[in-house]
């Protein structure tokens, strides 16, 4: 299946309503736009968990997949053996 890619805002746990969708021909273009949008501090809608990279099927113009970058952090004190 062939895809185009996009970046949009959506509260997926609450609604299927897509806002501010920007469409790109390549994943790399969408990813670059996504990263730039994460750096916008004056618009709280462009922050996780609301911003998504989406895979759009060319055959029927429907979004099939939503992706986000996520960081995982754990804190734990561990003695280092010498």
Instruction: Please state the rounded mean pLDDT for residues 63-69.
Output: 92
pLDDT tens for each residue of 10-56: 988 888 899 999 999 999 999 999 988 876 666 655 566 688 999 99
Highest mean pLDDT of the ranges 15-19, 40-44, 57-61, 73-77: 57-61
Per-residue confidence (pLDDT) for residue 82, from 0 to 100 = 80
Q: How far apart, in whole angstroms, are the C-alpha atoms of residue 26 and residue 30?
A: 7
| pLDDT at position 64 | 95
pTM: 0.77
Burial class (CB in 10 A: 0-12, 13-18, 19+), 38: middle
DSSP per-residue letters across 39-61: T-SS-GGGSTTTEEEEEEETTTT
* H/E segment holding residue 7: strand 3-9
29: three-class secondary structure by DSSP: helix
């Amino acid at each position: 299946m062939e895809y185009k890619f996009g970046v949009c805002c959506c509260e997926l746990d609450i609604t299927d309503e897509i806002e501010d969708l920007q469409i790109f021909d390549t994943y790399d273009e969408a990813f670059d736009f996504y990263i730039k949008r994460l750096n916008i501090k004056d618009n709280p809608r462009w922050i996780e968990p609301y911003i998504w990279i989406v895979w759009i099927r060319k055959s029927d113009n429907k979004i099939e997949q939503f992706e986000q970058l996520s960081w995982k952090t754990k804190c734990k004190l561990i003695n280092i053996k010498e």
